């Protein structure tokens, strides 16, 4: 693969560039009555959340010297193209059935405003301030014509960069499905990425789903994908065919996760922070006893791929030990079961590696952070009273685009 293609070969190489989204008005759209529909367990305080996210962003820039691209700014750059703007607004309005009014909508808002609306949504009464039409009379004033995307600050999920290209996620729940469309629009059309992204097929069917938090690059030759509440076997097999066909990657692991909230994605169970070091949530690592490994069987004359599938009835920890030489393990909670469960709720295992044995972690996970430091890891802490309310950690909030290759 040419070096200018978008690809990642490790989870811990020194970070060069990353996409992030600063929480915005979409967070203020959360109420005690719609939070469950929008996949939140709580209602965060936006202003404090933004302060914490700004702290996180500045730390990445200063500690790693990495380029941080902001989602909103990338989206504005793309939507300057009138055709792409019309396509995006039409698609977003399709949910409320007034997509035929897209041009009238766009005429009343700037490109920046349209980009913001695609992120934080718009209500009927907000549109009525600029556009009066009888079609709006069938709605209540506080109905959403475009629903907000409060989960977007978890940038890891809408797409995943792997060894051979980019997985454009097929999100499980309707509340997040537009996120992956926005990211794909950016990857396909922004000058930074246009012509540099090889998209991986994720399979057909309305029930096929995969999310970026379930995707972990184990090494140049191995990829792990969690079979979770939000990622299924069909999508994993489809990605495995694409990755293995392109060469380089030799093994794709399908890791079956418990269907519980604190094991939402594979990266809530473990993350890799050096060639031979992982941080794990011990309860889940010991309870995951089914893993499948896919290898390339053959590619026929028409390019169709058949896979060899092997079941491994052993813990995911044993699988990692077989895959990573001389593996060292740091457990959340510093080995204390009560602390491990408490800090797992706030994603103790979901640290973000900005370089080998250099991670960013929530400051509230004090026992996990102490255990990491004892293992020789440089732990940089960020405030977490509000960011953590969405039940996602520092890794969840980042989409690395480029790392130093190991």
pLDDT at residue 263, as a whole number: 67
Name the 3-class secondary structure at 162: strand
DSSP calls for 72-136: HHHHHHHHTSHHHHHHHHHHHHGGGT-GGGHHHHHHTS-HHHHHHHHHH-EEHHHHHTT---GGG
> What distance in Å separates the CA atoms of residue 275 and residue 290, rounded to the nearest whole number?
24
Residue 201: the pLDDT is: 83
Residues marked as catalytic: 396
Which residues fall within 8 angstroms of residue 240, CB to CB, at 6 or more apart? Answer: 223, 225, 252, 254, 294, 307
Q: What is the largest CA-CA distance in the chain?
A: 68
Per-residue pLDDT, 313: 84
Q: Which helix (H) or strand (E) holds 203?
A: none
Q: Alpha carbon of 354 to those of 104, 162, 194, 214, 265: distances in Å?
A: 45, 17, 25, 19, 20
Predicted pLDDT of residue 1: 35
Give Cα 174 to chain centroid, integer Å.
Answer: 16
- Please, are residues 198 and 164 in contact by the beta-carbon 8 Å criterion? yes
Q: How far apart are CA 379 and CA 40, in angstroms?
A: 28
| Helix, strand, coil % in the chain, rounded to nearest 5 | 40, 25, 35
pLDDT in tens, the chain (406 residues): 345 899 999 999 999 999 999 999 999 999 999 998 898 989 999 999 999 999 999 999 999 999 999 999 999 999 999 999 999 999 999 989 999 999 999 999 999 999 999 999 999 999 999 999 999 999 999 999 999 999 999 999 999 999 999 999 999 888 888 999 999 999 999 999 999 999 998 877 767 899 999 999 999 999 999 999 899 999 999 999 999 998 889 999 999 987 766 667 999 999 999 999 999 988 777 777 789 999 998 888 777 888 999 999 888 888 899 999 999 999 999 988 899 889 888 889 999 999 999 999 999 999 999 999 999 999 999 999 999 998 899 999 999 999 998 7
- The one-character DSSP state at 42 is S
């Amino acid at each position: 693969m040419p070096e200018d293609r978008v690809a990642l070969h490790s989870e811990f190489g020194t970070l060069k560039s990353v996409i992030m989204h600063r929480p915005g008005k979409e967070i203020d759209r959360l109420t005690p009555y719609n939070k469950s529909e929008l996949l939140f367990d709580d209602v965060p305080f936006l202003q404090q959340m933004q302060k914490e996210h700004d702290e996180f962003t500045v730390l990445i820039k200063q500690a790693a010297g990495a380029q941080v691209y902001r989602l909103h700014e990338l989206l504005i750059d793309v939507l300057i193209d009138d055709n792409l703007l019309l396509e995006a607004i039409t698609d977003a309005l399709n949910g409320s059935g007034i997509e035929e009014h897209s041009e009238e909508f766009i005429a009343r808002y700037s490109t920046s405003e349209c980009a913001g609306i695609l992120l934080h949504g718009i209500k009927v009464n907000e549109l009525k301030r600029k556009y009066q039409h009888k079609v709006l009379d069938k709605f209540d004033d506080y109905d959403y014509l475009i629903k907000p995307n409060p989960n977007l600050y978890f940038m890891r999920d809408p797409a995943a960069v792997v060894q051979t290209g980019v997985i454009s996620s097929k999100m499980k729940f309707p509340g997040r499905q537009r996120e992956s469309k926005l990211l794909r629009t950016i990857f396909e059309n922004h000058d930074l990425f246009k012509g540099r992204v090889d998209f991986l097929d994720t399979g057909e069917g309305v029930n096929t789903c995969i999310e970026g938090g379930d995707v972990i690059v184990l090494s140049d030759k191995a990829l792990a994908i969690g079979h979770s509440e939000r990622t299924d076997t069909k999508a994993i097999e489809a990605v495995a065919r694409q990755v293995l066909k392109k060469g380089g990657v030799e093994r794709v692991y399908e890791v079956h996760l418990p269907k519980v909230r604190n094991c939402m994605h594979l990266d809530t169970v473990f993350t890799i922070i050096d060639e031979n070091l992982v941080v794990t949530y011990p309860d889940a690592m010991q309870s995951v006893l089914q893993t499948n490994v896919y290898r390339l069987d053959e590619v026929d004359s028409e390019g169709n791929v058949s896979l060899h599938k092997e079941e491994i009835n052993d813990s995911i920890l044993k699988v990692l030990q077989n895959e990573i030489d001389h593996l060292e393990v740091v457990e959340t909670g510093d080995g204390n079961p009560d602390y491990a469960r408490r800090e797992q709720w706030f994603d103790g295992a979901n640290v973000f590696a900005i370089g080998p044995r250099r991670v960013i972690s929530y400051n509230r996970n004090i026992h996990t952070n102490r255990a990491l430091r004892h293992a020789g890891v440089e732990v940089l802490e960020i405030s977490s009273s509000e960011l953590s309310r969405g039940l996602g950690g520092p890794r969840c909030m980042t989409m690395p685009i480029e790392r130093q290759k190991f």
